[in-house]
Structures are given as structure tokens and as C-alpha cells.
Amino acid sequence: MRIAVDPTAAQPAELLDHDVFTSLDVTVPAGTSVGDLAAVLGPVGELDAEGDDVAAAHVRVSVSWLHGTAHAEGADAGWDERFEGMLAFAETQGWVAGTAGDRTVRAHVVVE
């Protein structure tokens, strides 16, 4: 899965590749600052950054946001099971935090 975040766009966050369960990245355009990214995440999640290097940052993505957005975009009947499988792997790596409706999963920030 990929979440494209562009602070200059009318809709700053967009879920792409919702059927790819082998990676989770947040992509931002070159020149995006940590502050710009944090300011537009909104319901997507929260920035997890130390310092000013956006390429070294992560986003704690809301599992509820991923689920709701994927289904709004037409996720098929087996999507939930595959998504939970991805989260189960992420949990073994320590990338999942929270409980029930508050769960987040850690995503890398990729500068394009």
C-alpha cells in the first residue's frame, strides 16, 4: 500500500495500491518538510519523526483510516482478511500500536 501525501494538493492524502499488502509507505514530493507533512496528515495518522529529516521519518497510520478508505475505493470481499494478515506480520515486527479503534501501523516515508 502507498499513501501519497502532497501538502500542496487540494486533497493532500490519497491511498494508492490498496491491494498491495507487502509494503506500506507514505510518499511525499521532494522539498516537503517535516512540518508540512505533519500539518496535512489529519485523519491519516501522526508523524513519528526525530529532527527535520522527512526521509528518516515514519507515519503512524490509522488502521481505521486505511480500512475505511480502501473500502470506499472498492476493496473486494477478501481484502479484510489479507489486510489483517499484513497487520499480523507488522505486529510481529513491533510496527502496530494501540488497541481496537485506535490501532496504528508504522509506515516509512519515501521522498519522491
Give me the mean pLDDT over the 100-105 stretch.
88
How remote is the C-alpha of 13 from its chain's centroid? 9
pLDDT category at 102 given cuts 50, 70, 90 is confident
Domain that holds residue 48: 2-111
> pLDDT at position 10, please?
87
In order of 13, 29, 33, 106, the CA distances from 94 in angstroms are 25, 27, 26, 9
> pLDDT at position 15, please?
96
Is the separation of the CB atoms in 65 and 43 below 8 Å?
yes
Number of folded domains that form the chain: 1
Query: DSSP letter at 109?
Result: E
Give me the mean pLDDT over the 13-36 stretch.
94
pLDDT for residue 103 is more than 80:
yes
Alpha helices in the chain (DSSP H): 34-40, 63-72, 79-92
> pLDDT at position 99, please?
85
